[in-house]
Amino acid sequence: MRWGQWGVRMDSDRLRTMIEECLESGIDTFDHADIYGGPHATESDFGRVLGADPALRSRMKIITKCGILLPDKPSSAPRIKHYDTSARYILTSAEQSLSSLKTDHIDLFLIHRPDPLMQPEEMAEAFFRLKRDGKVLHFGVSNFKASQLRMIHRHWPVEVNQLQVSVEHPHALFDGSVDACMELGVRVQAWSPLGAGSMDGAAEDERLRKIHAVAEIIAQRHGLEASQVLLAWVLTHPAKITPVLGTSRIERMRTAVAVGMQRLDREEWFMLLRASTGRDVA
């Protein structure tokens, strides 16, 4: 999301360098959405690099998402931000993503947000057609609560749920969202696992300062950076959560990869939780 028009606006040369450095660092999965940077804009930037060097595609997995529509210009359709999870839209978006990314298949295709008007049977039919034609290998959802996940899972075996999970935003661990994933065997991917980059020692927010201070204490014990401790907090959870890193800086990617198998002990984990919630557990 941050590599294109909504972020640092990488040109093709810089984007290719970033992709290659990620691959060399052991990061082989790239997360897109049809709205990032504008309709299929960041996908198209990425696709130009793959089109120029098709061999890169065999070294990576591509995730993309659909279901959110944004007004592109004041005078253009759609007139209002809304969701569309109709079979027609899912199929159309998938086809455009394939074209934009210059690939013949998407490894993981997600419904970006739960749509109050979604019809699970219709969504499952679209998934079936894309799977049958070899255009999508795996399907999942993003930001789905437990009841929404179970509803879709009855009609199609959801494989992934992308949720906001971090020390700053631990709510999915307590509202049943992650529990339902564990119950159904759905993998959890955590977007914004470091709290959207807001974990800064100079942060004005008192709560964030407390989180950062505790992270620094734990970091010193383990010879880590505070950001690595925040990432280890997510990785320690028994759901075996996969972080989705949002940075556009390769050095931050490498720092994250270096966390490796580092996990926190229970007291450290709950120290950070207390800093986030402002209270001990009951």
Residue 89 a catalytic site member: no
Cis omega (within 30 of 0) for bond into 78: yes
d(CA 84, CA 257): 35
How far is the C-alpha of 141 from the C-alpha of 154, rounded, in Å?
A: 14
- CA separation for the pair 137, 105 (Å, rounded): 7
Task: Report how far residue 100's alpha carbon sits from residue 110's, in angstroms, rounded to the nearest whole number.
Answer: 17
Using DSSP's 3-state secondary structure scheme, residue 189 falls into: strand
Structure tokens at 8: 């640092």
In sequence order, the 6+-apart residues with CB closer than 8 A to the CB of 274 are 280, 281
d(C-alpha 142, C-alpha 144), whole Å = 6
Q: Which is the catalytic residue, given 30, 36, 46, 191?
A: 36
**In the chain, alpha helices (H):** 12-24, 41-52, 87-101, 120-132, 146-153, 177-184, 206-222, 226-236, 250-257, 266-277
Task: Please say whether the beta carbons of 246 and 21 come within 8 A.
Answer: no
Backbone angles phi, psi at 279, to 5 degrees: -155, 160
**Enzyme catalytic residues:** 36
